[in-house]
Every structure is written in structure tokens, then in C-alpha cells.
Amino acid sequence: MTVQLTYIELATLMKSGAGVTVDPQLMATQPASTFAAYGLDSLGLLGIVGELENRFGRPLPPNAEQCKTPGDFLDLVNNNLTAGA
């Protein structure tokens, strides 16, 4: 079974970790929009990275917190999870 992070889960993490409410369908249709456009800063993204590392029990790539868009972030996370499966 492959674990994949979805836009819905990312939106939930953005809300719980940074207090940023985002429509996951909007992110899915505009994956190249920046996190900054949604109101998420680098510290908020760093918190999400930490939460995911705890959840999955392994580190994400060092550049995960440098992703600028939800699409890039999900690609990086999901590729990392697939590679580690």
C-alpha cells in the first residue's frame, strides 16, 4: 500500500499548523500558485514538514521546506514516500 499526501490533507495541515484556511480544490486546480499567495510563510511550511516527518517516521528531503508551491511540495513528499516504501 502506497501512502500519498493529498491536497485535502495538505489543506488540513495548513489550517492546523499555521491557521491558514485554504480550499483544497483550489490548490488542486492551481498547483503552481505559491504558498505565499495562500498566506503560508516559510515557518508554517517548516511546521508542516516536521508534522509529516513525525507522521511517517522518517525525514523528508532537506529542501522540502523550500518548496514554493503546493504542487511542488506534494510531488517532493509523495516521491519521497514512494521511494521509501
CATH number at residue 71: 1.10.1200.10
Burial state string for 20-52 with b = 16 or more CB within 10 A and e = fewer than 16: bebebeebbeeeebebeebebeeebbebbbeeb
**What is the count of structural domains for the chain?**
1
pLDDT-derived band at 77 (thresholds 50, 70, 90) equals: very high
Cα 51 from Cα 44, distance rounded (Å) = 11
Does residue 10 carry a pLDDT above 90? yes
Task: Supply the pTM of this predicted model.
Answer: 0.91
Q: Is residue 2 part of a domain?
A: no
Q: Is residue 11 part of a domain?
A: yes
Q: Is residue 1 part of a domain?
A: no
